[in-house]
Structure 1
Amino acid sequence: MALDDNGPLLAGVTWSLCLVSGFFLGLRLYAKISRRHPLWWDDHILIFSWVLLLIESIMTQIGITIGLGKHTDQIPLINLFITAVGLSIGTTITCFASTLSKISFGVTLLRLTSGYTRTFVWFCIVSLFVVMLPSAFLPYLRCRPLMKMWNPTIEGDCWDAQTLIGYGYFNAAWCACADFALALLPWKLIWGLQLSLRDKIGVSVAMSMGLLAGVCAVVKGVYLGQLGQDDFTYNGKDVIIWTAVETATAIVGASIPVLRVFFKETISSSHSRSHRTFETAKSAPELSLSTLQSTT
């Protein structure tokens, strides 16, 4: 049986994603700061991406309080207008949030690559940003006057919504391809290093979590058709959810490689301290006996 209000679902999913991704990002920052490693551009970009995800979660929550998630015929006209404006602004914010979360990992790879491989990473970074821009801003150019975009009763002209949806499909496909390319690139980089097979696989898998973000981009693209449906405040839940999933997954995926190194070093250091403590305790009686013998 279909729910009459998708608001609780939207709130639960978006806030859960925001908190989980924030937790992983916090661990990433702690891992670097605790080892006195300075934050680099990839860290700052990822932080900004998460802040945008937080803003989007807040805006979604505000939208829910005035009707987002309900059928349009259940929402007062003024609230419907405010919700439409909020969704438009939210779309712009999420475009930047999801793209920057992917770019952050690309910036990380810039530190590990050179030559043609580095050029390819730059191509992915720049193209992701450039391809995203129309999705973020074209909706505001769709109608003249602008207010007709949110209030169909106003006289004016608008492009066919399918034009924007079609570009959205292209954007989602491009993001997915870039995610897959950047996620698979570490396998090429790591496989040539002098590491054990176990370490090669471990590092490569940890740096390939972007594959999940690519899958999310594909799923989001499947649901983009909801934007052209009537009753958008109710039917648009999947696009809102999967856009947040895409961003959160990219943030978590970009944090895992740093956390893998941190936890590995922490465990190794802990074992080393335990071994030294054991050796000290083991040698203590012998030291006491030799000292006693020397004094007699």
Structure 2
Amino acid sequence: MATHEDKGPGILAICSTLTALATLFVAARLYVRARILSRVGLDDWLIIASMICGYIMLGLTIAAVRSGNGRHFALLTNEQRSGAILYTIAGFCPGIFSFGIPKLAVVALLTKITNPSRKHKIFLWVMTSGCLLILFGCVIILFAQCSPARSQWDFSVKGTCWSPWILVYYAIVAGNISAAVDLYLAIYPAVVLYRLQINLKKKLALGVALGLGSVATAVAIYKSTRLPALASADFTYDTSDITIWTSIEGNSIIIAACIPTLQPLFDLVFGRRVFGSTDDKKYSGYKYGSRSGMKTPQHIELSSNMGSKAGNNSKHRKMGISDVTIAKDSQESILGSENETSVVGNSATQHGDRGTGWIQRTDDVTIAFEPKVGERKGI
């Protein structure tokens, strides 16, 4: 056993860098939502909660490394062992929430932009909430496996413990379930995008943006291979990889959840609609930050009543409605943008000054009017 082996600096470097990077993405997301779009939603608050968990984990990880985590157990004093075990175990708790809560944020975003059926929406929420509860089971077992729980890190307290493999096996199952949920949340929007009538380049760009959660899937699967270290006699050295990969998983899914919301910021930086689904020239008046005071129209409902409003001068009339922003409540812009553009008779009118998102839908609605009784008689 080499006395110079110390994974502590590597733990701190990786966890600190990833947390700082995730912080930048979260800050950019909040700038878009609060400053550009003037709207912060449930998914944003969930991401904030996830980031707070990431900070708590980083703080506990720093304390664990200072106590000796990353070094071989046999080389530590009892005081160092006690502190390293305590802070490492405590750090796993917010670490689990840091990659469990963002799943809820992803669902909150997807249910607004993909317009799932009511049953599918319920399924998405139940799936992610259930996954979070299963992950929370790891925390329960972690502190309940010894009685009293304090005996795990306080060597002056005698206690009885379950086999550590109970936690290992449960954590492996929970980790694979988490990976499966991440994979589903990455594939589902890709399937929805495949059905949309947009060009391949934009489909791929959107698919990549919404499918970055698949990275967390790969991380979760690999991390599951490191979980047997929880039963290792060299706990402080062998669990270092778990600490690192927990941070990677949490921060990667936070970053992946933020990227699809940043398109308005890209527009602001590059001065044009980078991935816009319409002609850039049409949106040359695209503005950020302030509001022009123009009223945003209410959602348009196409019904039989439109016949009387449209007039009866023509026997047959076609209304072309193109570049219509997806409805705000369930089919809104993929980036949560609230600007609405309606085109009637192929003439564009932009309302408001906040940019539309990446996905826009084109509907052709044909409205036919029956001739009046007099017209049928040639009168």
Fold match by TM threshold 0.5: yes
Residues 67, 92 of structure 1: alpha-carbon distance in 2 compared, 3 angstrom cutoff: same
Q: Within 2, Cα distance between the matches of 1:167 and 1:269?
A: 47
Q: Which structure features the higher share of helix residues?
A: 1
Paired residues of 2:186 and 2:213 also in contact (CA < 8 A): yes
Alignment map for 1:140-155 (pairs within 5 Å): 140-151=143-154, 154-155=157-158
In structure 2, stretches of 5+ residues that fail to align are 275-279, 286-379
Is 1:234 matched with 2:240? no
Q: Within 2, Cα distance between the matches of 1:269 and 1:218?
A: 37
Identity between Structure 1 and Structure 2 (%): 24
Q: Within 2, Cα distance between the matches of 1:244 and 1:101?
A: 13
Alignment map for 1:179-218 (pairs within 5 Å): 179-218=182-221
Corresponding residue number in structure 2 for 1:79: 80
Q: Which structure features the higher share of strand residues?
A: 2
Paired residues of 2:15 and 2:247 also in contact (CA < 8 A): yes
Corresponding residue number in structure 2 for 1:42: 43
Deviation at 1:37, TM superposition (A): 3.2
Paired residues of 1:106 and 1:124 also in contact (CA < 8 A): no
Alignment map for 1:170-181 (pairs within 5 Å): 170-181=173-184
Residues 150, 255 of structure 1: alpha-carbon distance in 2 compared, 3 angstrom cutoff: same
Q: Within 2, Cα distance between the matches of 1:16 and 1:55?
A: 15
Partner-residue secondary structure (3-state), 1:268: coil
Deviation at 1:272, TM superposition (A): 5.5
Deviation at 1:261, TM superposition (A): 4.7
TM-score computed with the length of structure 2 as normaliser: 0.68
In structure 1, stretches of 5+ residues that fail to align are 277-296
Paired residues of 1:109 and 1:121 also in contact (CA < 8 A): no
Corresponding residue number in structure 2 for 1:169: 172
Q: Which has the higher contact order (CA 8 A, sep 6+)?
A: 1
Shifted more, 109-118 versus 7-16: the winner is: 109-118
Q: Within 2, Cα distance between the matches of 1:14 and 1:212?
A: 17
Deviation at 1:118, TM superposition (A): 1.5
Corresponding residue number in structure 2 for 1:90: 91
Paired residues of 2:179 and 2:220 also in contact (CA < 8 A): yes
Deviations 1:142-184 (A, max 9, x none): 1112222224664332110000100000010000000000111
Q: Within 2, Cα distance between the matches of 1:232 and 1:260?
A: 44
Paired residues of 1:206 and 1:260 also in contact (CA < 8 A): no
Corresponding residue number in structure 2 for 1:255: 258
Paired residues of 2:64 and 2:85 also in contact (CA < 8 A): no
Residues 97, 269 of structure 1: alpha-carbon distance in 2 compared, 3 angstrom cutoff: closer
Corresponding residue number in structure 1 for 2:306: none
Residue 123 of structure 2 aligns with an amino acid whose one-letter code is F
Corresponding residue number in structure 2 for 1:282: none
Q: Within 2, Cα distance between the matches of 1:94 and 1:27?
A: 22
Corresponding residue number in structure 2 for 1:57: 58
